[in-house]
Amino acid sequence: MMNHHVRRRLPVLSLVLACGLLTACGRSSAPATGAPPGGGPPPVADAANVFLSILPPGSNGNSAGAVGGPLPGQPQLAYPDNYRDQLDLYGDLAYARSPLRADRCAPPADIGAHQKSSDQACNYFKQAGLELPEAEAVSSLSLTAPNGKPVTIRRDGWGVPYVDGADRQAAQFGLGYAAAADRLWLFDVLRAAGRGRASEKLGPSPTTYDLDLEFGSASAYGEDEIRGIVDKAVAKLGPLGPLFLQDTESFVAGMNAYIDYLQTPAGLSQLPLEYTTLGLRLGGEPLFPPADFTVNDIVANAVLIQSALGLGGGGEARNLQLLQALDPSITGGTTRLPEAACKLWRDLRHANAPDTPVTASGTFATQSPPSVDESCPQTLPPGTAIWDVGSFVGHSLQSHGPGLPTLPLPLAVPEAPLGVEGLRGLGRLNLLPRAPADRLAELTRPPLRPGLAHLVAQQASADPGLSLKRLLNRHGLPMTSSNWIAAAGSQTESGHPILVAGPQTSYFMPQLLWEAAVVSRGGTPYELAARGISTVNLPYIVIGRGLDFAWSPTSAGSDFTDLRVSKLCNTSGAPASRGDADGDGYPDSDGYLYKGRCVRLYKRLDTWTANLTVASLALGGPQNPETVRRYVLRTHYGPVVGTATVQGEPVVVSSQRSTFLADVDTAAPFALLTTTGMAMDHTRFKKLFNSMTATFNWLYADSKDIAYIQSGLYPQRAAGVHPELPNWGDGNYEWVADQNLPDDFFSRYGGEVPYPSRARPTAMDDQGYYEWPGFLPLSAHIQDLNPPQGYLANWNNSGAAGWWAADANGTYGPTHRVSMLSDRLAAFRASGRKHTLATMVEVMADAAYTDHRGQTLLPLLIELARAGTLSEDQQTVLALMQDWLDDGSRQWIDNGKGLGGYRRDRDADGVYDHRAAVVFMDAWYLRLMQTLTPQLETLSTKAGVLTGRLDAPRAQGSAFQEGWYQHMRRLLQTALDTPGHASYRALQCAGSEDPALCRAAVLSALNQALTDLGGLANQAAWDGTQLVYPKAADCGVVEDCDAVEHTSFAYQPVPAIHWINRPTFQQAAEIVRDRNGR
């Protein structure tokens, strides 16, 4: 039996209607005492430890009870409880008074206790406890799990659920129930998106079709394959497999129990409004009630996370595209790269740049191969497969077009609170994409095949991972995400570690992340005690804290994906062809050569109907339903991304990813991480996360240590391959894990039977430590422990010296945004001071408002400009920019000047404190790209240069991951002959080796920027309206163009906040005692 308590406070009229018409107004029947449901002692929670967290906009992602609407400019009269309260808690950090303190810290219990401007660090976070006493609970709900055990869900003043179960199954059930209560509509949409079938849920539109294509390119799993992923993961994990399956089934049961509740009279008042507005289906079956959630849905969400955040490598085609743009003689049959093209390519690659910031203190030349070839000219190894210039065409993975009778489209929808004007208004919602900082040139796309002439065909990218990231970036998700810092006990006043960390996944409504605390009390070694966030409906706390430790990741992007080129053939012996003469959506050839034998391609046709919804019309979709067809095609390496020719011979190009068909093999760390039966330390943490197959940088901290490990299922490659270019997929250059396939492998698989994953772990103990034969062992992974500098920092930068950047990642250059953190940590250490929680939060906060160009490039620009005669106007501008630099973190660190360059409005008057300098930096940089880096400017019109022009501040918050200012820094150091600087081989400042010409280019750009802004006489009007920003051409003043906006999947939007470059969910922790009080 389930006892429900309606926790949302509805308007009086709604409450009367709910009670009078629906005959149900429940009261909590939770126990009056604070006793845990299952009895037994509660988890040890030492008051000396500090655990804080923040997750905007609010815990409640259910818009039921909203008074307002989704149209831009429409007044929002009332938000549901806990819907946007953390938005102010988070955004007000901009107005914090420096220096921050931690001496009187009492985190606000709700938004009413928060101050907009304070010098107390904890004012900008909430308490992140494991348990919530009944007396402090705002609401309480008692449930009975399917196994008959009780579970209680209490919520604090921020709406965060505290799940307290009598045993692990009951706790997982309660966790699923609470997740559905807070995120049902979002999770319902995401389970379709993770399958590459968003259009099936949200209807036909360019946006939904793009989501289908990109997620389908990464996986396109069939339903049987998804279930097979679960079954094989359970088998691979041995004794832990049933635990994972039971956890997931219990979680899903809790979600479905909430769906059942919504269909009761008492539950109807909490029905998410999206089901009757954005998700209203015009014709076809209604979207509510949604189908019961299944274990397969959880896998689909795991696929989504792996695809969006945990991929690495696979960009070989981008390198080949760049090389062929530099020198068209590099074509099929090429065995040696010409010197000129090779040198510029190596400059742009930044594969192992000596001046790039790294995280670990050691050197890790431990990848396979250990290093990449930097020589020029360069002889290519025999496994390299260079296709003919211009011959690559993408595989037409998906098509859509008429497939159902035309349905009448109503001009107004009686069931929805939106008529024609409502639909038009919805088209202006923040559902629509925003432009990324830079888009690289696409590879050639084929014309429509004759058989598909009545359809719209969509081709896969040669780099599915990058293509997906670009799409998600246009919808607000950063290309890379997350940051963390940690100070060792040697650097803190308490003598114990401090951590400030979190995932940076942009801003959505409802938020993609969901926060909860969960405790179970069944008396086994596998009971749970965790607090933190789950991502897109995964059944565990994946980032957060345990009893006496905390952990957090950043995306690493290291290379576990390769591009394979295989010669096409026909199993009948007929001549090979990559054409589609019969118009069935597939190449005419049905096989490819492997060790001289023609083996079968795997083919599968998926079809579904994209019915109209209010959302699809708002997104510019057609006015009739459409049929969608997906043409799945794979080699045994993985999904086919296209075809090409090599010296005129047709080849098929496929993507080999180590985690393909193994997306939930990562379950072991999270199933065991926060169990209470075994103490956690850095050694056990590293062993657990050797089973995390996705590529992430993981930070760990407890009362004694800070530690770091980079996870990922990195292949051991064969000799004779080039890790940065496409390689032959013919059986001669296989990954070690694939070198001993069974004799009957190709007779059992292919054709209509999908090829299986070959990644199989070996259990090294019974506590979740696995090694993966054929892949890098734990000892070869980047890792660190209590480094000599006394701190760790990562913001998606290089993990360690010696570890080469993934094939087409050119962003590990002469500077990186992590320096906005590490330079402040280094300055603090040099001051001789010791950290408190407040100083660590302030390091993070200052970095979050810093323009990286100001910190890392501007000092060099000023130095070079001042190396000669200047006009009066030039001197005035340089003084303005120097003031901007001086007003920085050094003031509170050591009473000095520097580490500034803020885009910050600390006095909350609506204007950046150094607005003129900010706008001039933006204008100057636009001109510097033309004058300082003309080689990049010219090349970018032909091919990608492996780094975007500028990852600029905009609505997604995350910024400065990449930009040409990285190259400019080294070019300016060369012109200034900075001691110890590295030099490029072919990339030159202003296209010349003459420092005088470099200086002239700097001043020319400065003068042009002055002209663009109307000159110094117009300085008072420099507000950004003179420039075009990435958000939009007419976004207004610079503060509005930078402002963070939440991409809305919800009926009720939330307001914009001050720009901030900060993790979406963030925890701050100082751990001084372990679970035993030591």
* 490-516 tens-digit pLDDT: 999 999 999 999 999 889 999 999 999
Indicate the range of 434-443, 630-639, 727-736 predicted with least confidence.
434-443
Does the residue 861 lie in any domain?
A: yes
Could you tell me which residue, 418 or 502, shows the higher pLDDT? 502
The model's confidence at residue 666, banded by pLDDT at 50, 70 and 90, is confident
Closest CA to 1016 of 847, 873, 896, 869: 873
pLDDT at 215 (0 to 100): 78
Strand partners, 801: 363
* pLDDT higher than 80, residue 903: yes
- Residue 896 sits at φ, ψ, to 5 deg, of -105, -165
- Give the whole-angstrom CA distance, residue 525 versus residue 1030: 52
Does the residue 272 lie in any domain?
A: no
Could you tell me which residue, 1072 or 310, shows the higher pLDDT? 1072
Q: pLDDT tens digits, residue range 964-989?
A: 999 999 999 999 999 999 999 999 99
* pLDDT higher than 90, residue 629: yes
Q: Which residues contact 1034 (CB under 8 A, 6 or more apart)?
A: none
Q: pLDDT tens digits, residue range 928-966?
A: 999 999 999 999 998 989 999 999 999 989 999 999 999
pLDDT at 972 (0 to 100): 99
Q: Can you list the alpha helix ranges (DSSP code H) found in 315-452?
A: 316-326, 339-349, 420-426
- Residue 622 sits at φ, ψ, to 5 deg, of -70, 170
The model's confidence at residue 73, banded by pLDDT at 50, 70 and 90, is low
* pLDDT higher than 90, residue 442: no
Parallel, antiparallel or unpaired: strands 529-535 and 513-520: antiparallel
The model's confidence at residue 72, banded by pLDDT at 50, 70 and 90, is low
The model's confidence at residue 2, banded by pLDDT at 50, 70 and 90, is very low
Both tokens of residue 101? 């303190």
- Give the whole-angstrom CA distance, residue 770 versus residue 761: 6
Does the residue 864 lie in any domain?
A: yes
pLDDT at 454 (0 to 100): 44
Could you tell me which residue, 478 or 205, shows the higher pLDDT? 205
* pLDDT higher than 50, residue 24: no
pLDDT at 776 (0 to 100): 99
* pLDDT higher than 70, residue 743: yes
* pLDDT higher than 70, residue 236: yes
- Give the whole-angstrom CA distance, residue 694 versus residue 482: 15
Does the residue 892 lie in any domain?
A: yes
* pLDDT higher than 90, residue 4: no
The model's confidence at residue 462, banded by pLDDT at 50, 70 and 90, is low
pLDDT at 537 (0 to 100): 87
Question: Domain with 905 in it: what CATH number?
Answer: 1.10.1400
Average pLDDT over residues 634-662: 97
* pLDDT higher than 70, residue 479: no
pLDDT at 614 (0 to 100): 85
Proportion of the chain above pLDDT 90, given as a percent: 76
pLDDT at 65 (0 to 100): 87
Both tokens of residue 1019? 């300085």
- Give the whole-angstrom CA distance, residue 149 versus residue 170: 6
- Give the DSSP per-residue string, 808-827: T----SS--TTHHHHHHHHH
SS3 for 761? coil
Average pLDDT taken over every residue of the chain: 89
* pLDDT higher than 90, residue 425: no
Q: Which residues contact 668 (CB under 8 A, 6 or more apart)?
A: 237, 240, 244, 688, 691, 768, 770
Both tokens of residue 159? 């709406």
Q: Are 1064 and 506 in contact (CB under 8 A)?
A: yes
Indicate the range of 325-339, 428-442, 626-640 predicted with least confidence.
428-442
Does the residue 297 lie in any domain?
A: no
Q: pLDDT tens digits, residue range 282-313?
A: 766 777 899 999 999 998 888 777 766 668 99
pLDDT at 311 (0 to 100): 83
Q: pLDDT tens digits, residue range 148-203?
A: 999 999 999 999 999 999 999 999 999 999 999 999 999 999 899 889 999 999 89
pLDDT at 555 (0 to 100): 94
Both tokens of residue 40? 């037994």
Does the residue 879 lie in any domain?
A: yes
- Give the whole-angstrom CA distance, residue 10 versus residue 273: 14
Q: Domain residues for 886?
A: 852-952+958-1043
Does the residue 872 lie in any domain?
A: yes
- Give the whole-angstrom CA distance, residue 261 versus residue 909: 47
The dihedral formed by the CA atoms of 997, 999, 1003 and 1005, expressed in degrees to the nearest 10: 70
Closest CA to 99 of 821, 1030, 790, 839: 839
> What is the number of domains present in the chain?
1
pLDDT at 457 (0 to 100): 58
- Give the DSSP per-residue string, 251-285: HHHHHHHHHHHHTSTTTGGG--GGGGTTT-BSSSS
Indicate the range of 199-213, 566-580, 750-764, 886-900 predicted with least confidence.
199-213
Average pLDDT over residues 904-917: 99
- Give the whole-angstrom CA distance, residue 1041 versus residue 1025: 9
Does the residue 740 lie in any domain?
A: no
Length of the chain: 1078
* pLDDT higher than 70, residue 410: no
The model's confidence at residue 403, banded by pLDDT at 50, 70 and 90, is low
Task: Report pTM.
Answer: 0.91
CB neighbourhood size of 450 (10 A): 11
pLDDT at 651 (0 to 100): 99
Q: pLDDT tens digits, residue range 824-876?
A: 999 999 999 999 999 999 999 999 999 999 999 999 999 999 999 999 999 99
Proportion of the chain above pLDDT 70, given as a percent: 87
* pLDDT higher than 80, residue 723: yes
The model's confidence at residue 444, banded by pLDDT at 50, 70 and 90, is very low
